[in-house]
C-alpha cells in the first residue's frame, strides 16, 4: 500500500511540474475488479481524477493518475464526464462560471498494459485527446 501512495505522490508532483501555474482539484476513486466466474470482487484498484484549471479562462484539462493501466481504460471516458459533472454540482467550482472541459486528458501511469493506440482510439470516440505520461513502457505491447 505504501508503494501505491508513493506512486500517487510522485505522479502528482510530475503533474505539478507539468502545470506549475494551474490550480488542481482531485478526487480519489477506485475500480472494483470482479472475477468473471464468481462475480465477486477480487480486488480494488485506486485511481485519481484531477481537474487541471487553466487560470483566468474557466477551462480545465483532466489528469488521470492510475497504476498499471489495463482493460479498465474503457471506463475512463465516462468517469471523466462524471467527475466534471460532480465538480459542477457539488459546489467545488462555486465562484466560477461554468467550467469548460478542453477535451484533453493527461494520463499519468507507471505502466501501460494495453497499447497507447487502443486507448487513444477509445477516448477519441468521446471527443477526447489523450496525452500519455508513462513512467515505464511495456515492451511487449
pTM of the model: 0.85
- Can you tell me whether residue 12 is helix, strand or coil? helix
Please, which residues bridge with residue 108 across strands?
Answer: 65, 133
3-state secondary structure string across 67-112: CCECHHHHHHHHHHHHHHHHHHHCCCCCCCCCCEEEEEEEEEEEEE
In a domain, residue 28? The reply is yes
Whether pLDDT at 112 is above 80: yes
In a domain, residue 24? The reply is yes
User: How many distinct structural domains can be found in the chain?
Assistant: 1
Question: Could you report the per-residue pLDDT of 81-93, keeping only the tens digit for each?
Answer: 999 888 877 765 5
In a domain, residue 40? The reply is yes
Please tell me the least confidently modeled range out of 19-28, 60-69, 82-91: 82-91
In a domain, residue 109? The reply is yes
80-101 burial: b if 16+ Cβ within 10 Å, else e: beebbeebeeeeebeeeeebeb
In a domain, residue 102? The reply is yes
**What's the domain range around 93?**
2-136
141 pLDDT band, cuts 50/70/90, is very low
In a domain, residue 118? The reply is yes
In a domain, residue 141? The reply is no
Amino acid at each position: 500500500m505504501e508503494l501505491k501512495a508513493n506512486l500517487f505522490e510522485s505522479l502528482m508532483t510530475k503533474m505539478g511540474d507539468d502545470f506549475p501555474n494551474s490550480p488542481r482539484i482531485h478526487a480519489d476513486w477506485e475500480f472494483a475488479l470482479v472475477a468473471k466466474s464468481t462475480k465477486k470482487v477480487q480486488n480494488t484498484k485506486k485511481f485519481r481524477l484531477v481537474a487541471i484549471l487553466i487560470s483566468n479562462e474557466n477551462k480545465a484539462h483532466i489528469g488521470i493518475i492510475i497504476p498499471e493501466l489495463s482493460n479498465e481504460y474503457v471506463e475512463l471516458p465516462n468517469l471523466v464526464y462524471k467527475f466534471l459533472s460532480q465538480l459542477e454540482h457539488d459546489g467545488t467550482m462555486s465562484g466560477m462560471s461554468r467550467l469548460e472541459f478542453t477535451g484533453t486528458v493527461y494520463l499519468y501511469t507507471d505502466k501501460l498494459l494495453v497499447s497507447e493506440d487502443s486507448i487513444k482510439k477509445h477516448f477519441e470516440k468521446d471527443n477526447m485527446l489523450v496525452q500519455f505520461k508513462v513512467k515505464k513502457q511495456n515492451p511487449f505491447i
